[in-house]
Amino acid sequence: MNFRAIRADKTDQGQDVRFATMSEDELMPGDVTVRVTHSTVNYKDGLALSGKSPVIRRFPMVLGIDLAGIVRNSSHAGFKAGDEVLLNGYGLSETHMGGYAELARVKGDWLVKMPVGMTAARAMAIGTAGYTAMLCLMALEAHGLKPADGPALVTGAAGGVGSVAITLLAQAGWHVIASTGRAGEADYLKSLGASEIIDRADLAKPPKALMPERWAAGVDSVGSTTLASAIAATKARGAIAACGLAGGMDLPSSVAPFILRGVALLGVDSVQCPMPRRVAAWERLTKSLDAKRLDAMTETVSWEKAFEIGEKIRAGQVRGRVVLEIA
């Protein structure tokens, strides 16, 4: 069987990323074949779609770090033909062919059965960005933090992780401070539950070792100086959950917040997250994420527009989440 995919090939000039027709024989090993119906565009997808990113580690590669669809055939004991499934991470679009294709062959151990009450389209509206936001909230809760301890900061607030994080934190009772460089998105962020909006420039300057205490918790998808500033202004015994590097991989911080205030930096890895925690995150998203707010932050387009969306997300021009309908 032939199928369409967005594929990256290595060339003498770099990478050639385009729509291509592939044979099922070209798929990588796995015990479950999925007919993909939906995917999404995360920041990492935007990098891969550029054809200039080191995200891809083997070629040829089908892009897309997320997928949702229906099992076509399976030799895995946990899945059968007709099961609705979703998949985030596990090296999709990096080391294993991903979700921007009409067919995907993957390991059944990577798949999550679609939770009751969740649809493929809504699962991809959440995608890796929203699922990561839930993992961040769970990490903060596991650290013992609660809304009574003080406000929660969300950086990169208008992006995918930020939009869902604001919604989840606000629903859990937190006073949310949203950091954004897009002043025009203030009404949007407040509609998701943000109580305060601050300019990202406030966090973009090299911070002092310690700054006035402003928040007890935070979700950071930016990294670099922004994360360092967030840490320096965290209240005693507070914590920041770090999950992204849109602003850079460096961390120009100091040990002062850690040893003088007992601040914690919680690393959140969504790619290789253990399956029990992964399933728990998806169950909570199904039950607790406000569907109306999710719909308000989501745009649905044909996957033919993936390259256009990728360019916009790299430029910081995408608000919230984008679902791709796979042909």
Q: Pairing mode, if any, of strands 66-74 and 32-40?
A: antiparallel
Q: Which two tokens stand for residue 23?
A: 């044979």
Task: Answer whether residue 327 shows pLDDT above 80.
Answer: no
Task: Answer whether residue 235 shows pLDDT above 80.
Answer: yes
The string of pLDDT tens digits covering residues 204-233 is 999 999 999 999 999 999 999 999 999 999
Average pLDDT over residues 188-201: 97
The string of pLDDT tens digits covering residues 39-49 is 999 999 999 99
Average pLDDT over residues 304-325: 96
Average pLDDT, the chain: 97
Say if residues 67 and 96 touch (Cβ distance below 8 Å). no
Report which of 68, 41, 6, 20 is spatially closest to residue 320, judged by C-alpha positions: 41
237: left (phi over 0), alpha (psi -120 to 50) or beta: left
In the numeric block, the tokens 């994080």 are attached to: 165
What is the pLDDT confidence band of residue 306, given thresholds at 50, 70 and 90? very high
Task: Answer whether residue 277 shows pLDDT above 90.
Answer: yes
Q: Could you give the strand order of the β-sheet that contains 61-62, starting from the edge strand earlier in sequence?
A: 14-23, 2-11, 61-62
> What's the CATH number for 2-114+297-325?
3.90.180.10
Report which of 274, 145, 36 is spatially closest to residue 282, judged by C-alpha positions: 274
Average pLDDT over residues 297-326: 96
How far is the C-alpha of 267 from the C-alpha of 304, rounded, in Å? 34
What is the pLDDT confidence band of residue 320, given thresholds at 50, 70 and 90? very high
The string of pLDDT tens digits covering residues 62-110 is 999 999 999 999 999 999 999 999 999 999 999 999 999 999 999 999 9
State residue 256's pLDDT score. 98
Average pLDDT over residues 301-315: 97
How far is the C-alpha of 5 from the C-alpha of 221, rounded, in Å? 29
Average pLDDT over residues 293-321: 96
Instruction: Give ranges for CATH 3.90.180.10 in the chain.
Output: 2-114+297-325
Task: Answer whether residue 53 shows pLDDT above 90.
Answer: no
The alpha-helical segments, DSSP class H, found in the chain are: 43-49, 120-142, 160-171, 186-192, 201-204, 224-232, 256-260, 275-288, 291-296, 306-314
Average pLDDT over residues 223-251: 97
State residue 92's pLDDT score. 97
State residue 54's pLDDT score. 86
Instruction: Give ranges for CATH 3.40.50.720 in the chain.
Output: 128-267
State residue 71's pLDDT score. 98
In this prediction the pTM is 0.95
Q: Which two tokens stand for residue 153?
A: 């900061």
State residue 85's pLDDT score. 98
- Considering the segment(s) 128-267 as one domain, its CATH architecture is 3-Layer(aba) Sandwich (3.40)
What is the pLDDT confidence band of residue 292, given thresholds at 50, 70 and 90? very high
Average pLDDT over residues 137-162: 98
